[in-house]
Chain A
Amino acid sequence: KNQVEQSPQSLIILEGKNCTLQCNYTVSPFSNLRWYKQDTGRGPVSLTIMTFSENTKSNGRYTATLDADTKQSSLHITASQLSDSASYICVVRPMFSGGYNKLIFGAGTRLAVHP
Chain B
Amino acid sequence: EPEVTQTPSHQVTQMGQEVILRCVPISNHLYFYWYRQILGQKVEFLVSFYNNEISEKSEIFDDQFSVERPDGSNFTLKIRSTKLEDSAMYFCASLGLAPNEQFFGPGTRLTVL
Binding site for B on A (CB under 8 A): 34, 41-46, 49, 89, 97-98, 100-108
Contacts and interface: CB of A to CB of B under 8 A. Distances in A.
If over half of B's interface residues share one DSSP class (helix, strand or loop), that class is named, otherwise mixed; here it is strand
Size range of the chain B interface in the assembly: 20 to 34
A105 B55 CA distance: 19
A102 B48 contact: yes
Given A43-B91, A107-B41, 16 more contacts: A41-B107, A43-B4, A43-B105, A45-B104, A46-B101, A46-B103, A49-B99, A89-B43, A98-B48, A100-B48, A100-B50, A101-B31, A102-B45, A105-B42, A105-B43, A107-B42
B109 A100 contact: no
A100 B56 contact: yes
Contact of A43 (B44, B101, B104): B104
B88 interface: no
Interface of B: 4, 31, 33, 41-45, 48, 50, 55-56, 89, 91, 93, 95, 99, 101-107, 109
19 contacts: A41-B107, A43-B93, A43-B104, A43-B107, A44-B43, A44-B91, A45-B104, A46-B103, A49-B99, A89-B43, A98-B48, A100-B48, A100-B56, A101-B95, A101-B102, A102-B45, A102-B48, A105-B43, A105-B44
